[in-house]
Amino acid sequence: MAVLEPVIDHAFHYRERFDGAGLPLTPRLKLAVLTCMDSRIDVFDILGLQVGDAHVLRNAGGAATDDAIRSLAISQRAIGTQEILVLHHSDCGMLKLKMEDFVSELESETGYRPSWLDEGFSDLGADVARSVAALRRSPFLRPGTPIRGVFYDVATGRVTEPCS
């Protein structure tokens, strides 16, 4: 079943109900959120945010990759965000993925080995702590930036803070 056509058609009619004119470039709360691309995570609802409140960055696992750090550095230094929240979750697809097997499969299928190797993870709380630590160590983010990490349970909706 093709989904692109109805999704694009919906986008073409978006202007009919658009009410975001006048929002400033700098997010209202000066907050950036790094989270997973998992479609079960409604970042705005979970965190009580509105459009214009925060920058939301998503990738597989909500990982503090070079590209995520690049985006966060731009968010801070060029656009004015001041705090960062890392939001990871239960039942993450990255838990099931054997990264070395995945990379080998990609290389076998395409003839190219990707440069974006990721170590994967097996302990969700430890991964939140690892991501927060990686951001705190980054020379590209402003020193002393408040950075916190939380964990969202997709089965219960509960949010906990395994590290601070």
Residue 119 has pLDDT above 80, yes or no: no
pLDDT band at 6 (very low <50, low <70, confident <90, very high): very high
In the prediction, which pLDDT does 98 show?
81
Residue 120 has pLDDT above 90, yes or no: no
- Cα distance between residue 20 and residue 50, in whole Å: 11
In the prediction, which pLDDT does 164 show?
54
- Cα distance between residue 52 and residue 35, in whole Å: 17
What domains are there in the chain, each with its CATH number? Answer: 26-93+122-163 (3.40.1050.10)
